[in-house]
Homo-oligomer: A and B are copies of this chain.
Amino acid sequence: MNQSSPWQPITPAKPARATREPLTRERIVDTALRLLVEQGYEAVSMRKVAQALDTGPASLYAHVANKKELDQLMLDRAAADMVLPDADPEHWQEQLKAAMDEILRVMRAYPGLARAAIGQVPLGEYAMLSTERMLAILKAGRVPDQAAAWAVDLIPLFITATAFEESVQGAADFAPEDLAGFVDQLRSFFGSLDPARFPLTIALAGAMTTGASGDDRFDFGAQVIIAGLASMVPPQQ
């Protein structure tokens, strides 16, 4: 080849395609969360995130330590969406319930996020701001310090486990409308057990299968936790 041929300029006037934006932590987390929302947790692999950014998986490691860190970053980005109320001593129980609802709402907005969150201590800025606000609500309710400190661990544990369970159900084969069929099957399975060995399971088959979708089950768990915490508040004066 000629080193300088007239129809092959040495410096092309323009690259064939616009220069790609450089990779950043932010773009990686954005892309990961987009994949999470659009295609679920299984779609958030280092390889698929890289592919969506039009690069190879190795390129991500300059910005993110590993998959676990990416999971944490996604969680904290999502936690930024949570809006928890300012503490009001008169209504701490309602406020705590509202806070739990809000955390579940955000978890549900990013289906599969619970899989990234479960079992991890969330140390991101936004997750910790949520913790701080929950502590304020509990202290306003005069929940003892040690109980409040453990409660802000127990509450996300409960919510995350709930959202995790929902995401497993959601990721299963059946569409939402098949869920009703599954619940029917489950109830008749309970009903068909040996009455000598499973009398209560049979008797409560209906109660055990209600609230499989919707919020009744979650509201019950929240109520149990709140009532349990309330029982630890010492009498006034």
Contact = CB atoms under 8 A, between A and B. Distances in A.
A154 B72 CA distance: 26
Copies per assembly:
2
A146 B210 contact: yes
B145 A207 contact: yes
A23 B132 CA distance: 54
Interface of A: 118-121, 123, 128-129, 131-132, 135-136, 139, 145-154, 157-158, 160-162, 164-165, 167-169, 186, 189, 193, 197-201, 204, 207-208, 210-211, 216-217, 220-221, 223-232
A224 B225 contact: yes
A148 to B, nearest CB: 7
A209 to B, nearest CB: 8
B201 A132 contact: yes
Contacts of A150: 207-208, 211, 216-217, 220-221
Q: Is the interface of A mostly helix, strand, loop or mixed?
A: helix
The 10 tightest CB contacts between A and B, nearest first, are A224-B228, A228-B228, A149-B207, A119-B168, A135-B200, A161-B161, A227-B228, A227-B231, A149-B208, A150-B220
A152 B221 contact: no
A168 B157 CA distance: 14
A227 B225 CA distance: 8
23 contacts: A121-B186, A128-B193, A132-B199, A132-B201, A135-B204, A136-B200, A145-B207, A147-B220, A148-B204, A149-B207, A150-B211, A150-B217, A153-B208, A154-B224, A157-B165, A157-B221, A223-B228, A224-B225, A224-B229, A224-B232, A227-B231, A228-B231, A231-B231
A160 B225 CA distance: 17
A123 B203 CA distance: 17
Contact of A119 (B123, B128, B164): B164
Given A220-B147, A229-B224, A201 B131 contact: yes
Contact of A152 (B145, B193, B208, B226): B208
A198 B128 contact: yes
Contacts of A198: 128-129, 132
B224 A123 contact: no
Nearest to A206: B149
